[in-house]
């Protein structure tokens, strides 16, 4: 069954979606990347091109391999082109109205066997599945930033997910070189339920002026052997994404541990979202 999987759609080609499209194309899948308009499509294609060029420059990919990958990637602004794919991974912004629009279209357009996956990090996969007439074929497939590098893929199942759907998606995750873990549909799933409150705590320390941003980052990096400190990581993940995860944890558990740091909320309100907006905890020159 899994062997027959060869066509994948990716809806939304922001940082995550572009990385996800790249991962599938590198693993030999035919990929159709979909964006809302030509400008967004060009930006998405630009993300993939940049990442592949970097891999070629570093000698990690030959020119020949690169052209093979390019030939497997198709970019379009028409969701209708997804009629025939085996799996769709949705990676549009974290708003339920957008998910409703995308999943409504996918449910109508894609063949009945197509599995619909969401890369959401803060919305309920169960609610997203309920937007379709095929909730048994809807799962979360949650990647980590940068998607081409990070090895984890959370496979999020709901009370409605068919066991076979979860099995197929788990196998597909292995085929693209990820380590899948199956988790239930609870706020933050597993990784973000631990990682984002840790980032939030680092913001609280910073807000209380316990140490500078550099000292906080350096302390954690050196103490725990992590590749980057929590404030650098927050900038990379996006402060809006961090806040959305904190708010969903708070909504679900009403536990003070999960209250977003006031500074995090204010920075998002001010449009300081981290790397994607050019300014977060860093980037102020």
Distance of closest approach, residue 273 Cβ to ligand CAA, in angstroms: 13
For ligand CAA, give the closer residue by CB, 60 or 266: 60
Of 51, 122, 124, 192, the catalytic one is: 192
Burial letters 73-106, b for 16+ CB under 10 A, else e: bebeeebebbeebbbbbbbbebeeebbeebbeeb
Of 119, 142, 160, 200, the catalytic one is: 142
Dihedral sign for Cα 273, 277, 283, 284, please: negative
How many C-beta atoms surround the C-beta of residue 224 within 10 A?
Answer: 9
11 phi and psi angles, rounded to 5 deg: -105, 120
Q: Is 121 a catalytic residue?
A: yes
Of 35, 51, 90, 121, the catalytic one is: 121
Distance of closest approach, residue 200 Cβ to ligand CAA, in angstroms: 12
Distance of closest approach, residue 3 Cβ to ligand CAA, in angstroms: 28
For ligand CAA, give the closer residue by CB, 107 or 235: 235
Burial letters 152-182, b for 16+ CB under 10 A, else e: ebbbbbbebbbeebbebbbebbeebebebbb
Q: Is 145 a catalytic residue?
A: no
Give the SS3 label for residue 45. Answer: helix
For ligand CAA, give the closer residue by CB, 29 or 144: 144
CA distance 189 to 192: 6
Distance of closest approach, residue 121 Cβ to ligand CAA, in angstroms: 3
Give the residue nearest to ligand CAA (CB). 121
Q: Is 142 a catalytic residue?
A: yes
For ligand CAA, give the closer residue by CB, 1 or 194: 194
Q: Is 192 a catalytic residue?
A: yes
- The token pair at 136 is 């048994």
Give me the residues that bind ligand CAA (CB under 6 A), please: 51, 54, 58, 60, 121, 144-146, 148-150, 192, 195, 227-228, 233, 237, 241
Active site residues: 121, 142, 154, 192
């Amino acid at each position: 069954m899994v062997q027959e999987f060869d066509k994948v759609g990716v809806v939304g080609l922001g940082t995550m979606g572009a990385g996800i499209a790249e991962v599938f194309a590198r693993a030999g899948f035919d990929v159709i990347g979909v964006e809302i308009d030509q400008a967004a499509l060009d930006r998405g294609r630009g993300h993939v091109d940049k990442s592949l060029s970097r891999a070629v420059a570093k000698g990690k990919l030959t020119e020949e391999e690169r052209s093979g990958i390019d030939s497997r990637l198709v970019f379009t602004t028409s969701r209708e082109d997804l009629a025939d794919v085996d799996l769709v991974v949705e990676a549009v912004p974290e708003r339920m109205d957008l998910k409703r629009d995308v999943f409504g279209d996918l449910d109508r357009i894609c063949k009945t066997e197509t599995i619909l996956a969401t890369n959401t990090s803060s919305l309920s996969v169960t609610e997203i599945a309920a937007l379709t007439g095929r909730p048994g074929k809807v799962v979360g497939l949650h990647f980590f930033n940068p998607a081409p590098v990070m090895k984890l893929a959370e496979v999020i199942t709901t009370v409605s997910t068919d066991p076979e759907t979860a099995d197929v998606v788990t196998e597909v995750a292995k085929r693209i070189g990820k380590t899948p873990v199956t988790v239930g549909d609870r706020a933050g799933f597993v990784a973000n339920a631990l990682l984002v409150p840790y980032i939030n705590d680092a913001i609280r320390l910073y807000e209380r002026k316990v140490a500078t941003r550099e000292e906080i980052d350096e302390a954690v990096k050196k103490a725990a052997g992590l590749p980057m400190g929590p404030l650098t990581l927050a900038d990379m993940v996006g402060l809006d994404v961090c806040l959305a995860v904190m708010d969903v944890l708070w909504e679900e558990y009403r536990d003070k541990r999960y209250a977003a740091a006031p500074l995090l909320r204010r920075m998002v309100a001010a449009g300081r979202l981290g790397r994607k907006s050019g300014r977060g905890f860093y980037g102020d020159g």
